[in-house]
Structure 1
């Protein structure tokens, strides 16, 4: 088997096996995307996802519920976060909700921050990773490349070890830090492995920037 194809299959297999490793009751950061007025668990990692103009991306730290985690408590509402207007030529506007979750789910000696709601203005081809960075959030990844902390909150949260640091400029839009709170999520299954292997794509909860 060619090395590239083998690498894709290994990545997809590790991706599909993650639900077994995330037993119920284990809190983690999950990645969500708006489908109408509801949240849907993302089926690709943020480095592969390319949200469209007007999309809403969500992150939540919470204990798992089955194979999909727990969605942000805010409803995905692009208009409420980004308001009227449109993106400049060659750009898109994407709303981002980051819900740090319940105190009961927080790692030891950590406390959830208030939910952040940001309207990020990014390039047309920007990924979910780019959107999160433009929202001005710091992320940390574990050894497997999964996001395990945002703004130093999470099981690997360490202020001195940040793998991604991008500060939102005024053009990135509005940030609202009020309100209720709020994971890289688990992505399903062996069936997805077959789709990935056949299509030659990469499906993984991996960060492209480290």
Structure 2
């Protein structure tokens, strides 16, 4: 048999093998993406004058200045990177237009967005989005400003904000998609240090795990070994 015919006969199984390897890798990567988990919680935002920015401190810690706009949005998301923003612009002038300034107090504009029916817990309907202008003491926290206009608030045992104006009635940062398991406690906002710690412990949540990459590598190594063995037989 000539070298050309031998090479041609070898090329067909090699192409089939490579196609199988690519398909296997795609399936494994798809499985890793499907494991991404979503959580239902109130996220906490700060207005920068035009847009919203995810808060780097929790509402019980942050002490906003007079004229600040802050937002709360209830939705299902994986983390701060894909969290839904409040659906109202952070416009202090419009929100606090009917609340005159007072000596010894500060005004904090709040956008409270309970989200959509898609994100609502089973059996519950989200109330309408609303805005409020809280007038509180100069040293009041964001949580105190929220409590001044949106009671009742509900917190869990670790002081996580679970409900605003009684919504939702139950639950607090529960997992609603991805791998089954215990619910992950939800923090409406974390410090930068906390977010970095979470990434180091859990990974970025958007790519395949280490175990998944090892599995793909093992499949590719088997394919390479098969190619080498085929060449030796030739």
Task: Report the TM-score, using the length of structure 2 for normalisation.
Answer: 0.57
**Does the 8 Å contact 2:151/2:166 carry over to 1?**
no
Match of 2:42 in 1: 29
Q: Which residue of 1 aligns with 2:138?
A: 124
Measured in 1, the distance between the counterparts of 2:136 and 2:157 equals 28
Taking the aligned partners of 2:150 and 2:165, their CA distance within structure 1 comes to 9
Following TM superposition, the consecutive aligned residue runs of length 4 or more in structure 1 with deviations greater than 3 angstroms are: 188-194
1:154 maps to which residue? 168
Displacement after TM superposition at 1:185 (Å): 1.6
Distance 1:123 1:112, change over 3 A: same
Aligned counterparts of 1:184 and 1:117: Cα–Cα separation in 2: 22
Q: Per the alignment, in what secondary structure is the counterpart of residue 163 of structure 2?
A: strand
| Count of aligned pairs | 148
Are the aligned partners of 1:67 and 1:188 in contact in 2 as well (CA < 8 Å)?
A: no
Unpaired stretches in structure 1, ≥5 consecutive residues: 1-22, 158-182, 195-210
Q: Distance in 1 between matches of 2:170 and 2:190?
A: 20
After superposition, the CA RMSD in angstroms is 2.6
Task: Give 1:49's aligned residue.
Answer: 62
TM-score, normalisation: structure 1? 0.63
- Which residue, 59, 63, 76 being the options, matches 2:72? 59
- The aligned counterpart of 1:78 is 92
Find the residue that maps to 2:136 and give its secondary structure: strand
- Whether the aligned pair in 1 keeps the contact of 2:69 and 2:110 (CA below 8 Å) is yes
Instruction: Tell whether 2:117 aligns with 1:103.
Output: yes
Report the alpha carbon displacement of residue 95 of structure 1 after superposing the two structures with TM.
0.6
Deviation at 1:153, TM superposition (A): 1.4
SS in 2 for 1:105: coil
Structure number with bigger Rg: 2
Structure 2: how far apart are the matches of 1:87 and 1:28? 33
Aligned equivalents of 1:85, 1:153: Cα separation in 2: 26
| Structure 1 residue 191 displacement after superposition | 6.8
Question: Could you say which residue in structure 2 is the equivalent of 1:87?
Answer: 101
Q: Secondary structure at the match of 2:38?
A: coil
Higher relative contact order (CA 8 A, sep 6+): 1
